[in-house]
Structure 1
């Protein structure tokens, strides 16, 4: 059973998400909160769906506090297009994914299962804004990224590039003529070598390091 928590200041949004999630045989909403200030002391959840903007404590600070208390919890941020400047802050706070609030129900449920399985999610409609917010890094960071890239094998560089383009492990396996298990091993090594918390952070690293340009994004 996937234990889910909801943090959003709109009761109707929480009610809708709760009804959808509780309709699934493998999911259960274990608690809800109307503000980021109310997450402290809550029971550990597998995944927290967190609004990025709330009246008292926003999702960025709440995410940081929540992961300090429950580091094993995964946080999926709920955002809108006009909040793109906050996305990078949420990523730095440890969020494992981003979804638009108007995502299709199936997209939301798939995201919960994907994150519970150990991967991260980045809604295609949000990806450009995440990358845009992360562009133009300082020279010091660019140099650091170049040093990290040198620790990747050519195969790992190519797999990282495909990850950044939105390919799943199964799609990468087909493109590279590898088994899914081998791809998964490569991805874990890439995360370690690039000091990426999860797949979303690896995507961000790939763009910052110049492996992929925004013109290629989601081109497959």
Structure 2
């Protein structure tokens, strides 16, 4: 089954370029295009794609607001933020809005397809150029220092810590299941428990805790 993707960007040439890339990738299907955040939310509600590629700066409703609404209305659709803006505040806001991944438009097309597949599989994905900044510059001051992260992890069971470490390594639920010899439904239950116990909103935030706690 193909991964259905919605492209949301206010620049027609960007949408056309992304579509041209994805149209040549086996197993990925473009479900539609949107020129602003309001249109993106409407199309997601109608077509329920597996992944939504969202630009941050769009008219009428920006990508961050659209991401929050999409995650509330259609939680099964993963949000992958795609932008030219690499400043820290946008990365933090995208993660806080519930985005499962963050890519720069200058990323290699292979990163785009890798990000789409990862988010569709239920994993988190950060562009390699973004990941280092998130982990080293943002994780400590904004999500707690190492000691605080280790204190959070202490409440987890041994199995939950194993799952958290694999989330931090970027594995999907299916990959975690194969690694730990668990069925995917059981992995989903563990992931939900880990997010709840750590008091984080998504896998990206959980991955940062894993890095800070030294599990990865």
User: What is the TM-score normalised by the length of structure 1?
Assistant: 0.75
Q: What is the alpha-carbon distance in structure 2 between the residues aligned to residue 82 and residue 63 of structure 1?
A: 17
Q: What is the alpha-carbon distance in structure 2 between the residues aligned to residue 155 and residue 124 of structure 1?
A: 28
Contact 1:85 1:133 in 2 (8 A): no
Pick the aligned partner of 1:48 from 26, 46, 52: 52
Where does structure 2 lack aligned partners over 5 or more consecutive residues? none
Q: What is the alpha-carbon distance in structure 2 between the residues aligned to residue 59 and residue 124 of structure 1?
A: 21
Q: What is the alpha-carbon distance in structure 1 between the residues aligned to residue 109 and residue 205 of structure 2?
A: 25
Q: Aligned pair count?
A: 203
- The 3-state SS of whatever aligns with 2:210 is helix
Q: Could you tell me which residue of structure 2 aligns to residue 129 of structure 1?
A: 133
* C-alpha distance after superposition, 1:148-177 (max 9, x if no partner): 32212456546645654x4647xx98xxxx
Q: Could you tell me which residue of structure 2 aligns to residue 211 of structure 1?
A: 213
Q: What is the alpha-carbon distance in structure 2 between the residues aligned to residue 137 and residue 107 of structure 1?
A: 26
Q: What is the alpha-carbon distance in structure 2 between the residues aligned to residue 113 and residue 202 of structure 1?
A: 19
Where does structure 1 lack aligned partners over 5 or more consecutive residues? none
- The 3-state SS of whatever aligns with 2:111 is helix
Change in CA separation of 1:130 and 1:54 when aligned onto 2, cut-off 3 Å: farther
Q: Could you tell me which residue of structure 2 aligns to residue 25 of structure 1?
A: 26
CA RMSD of aligned residues (A): 3.3
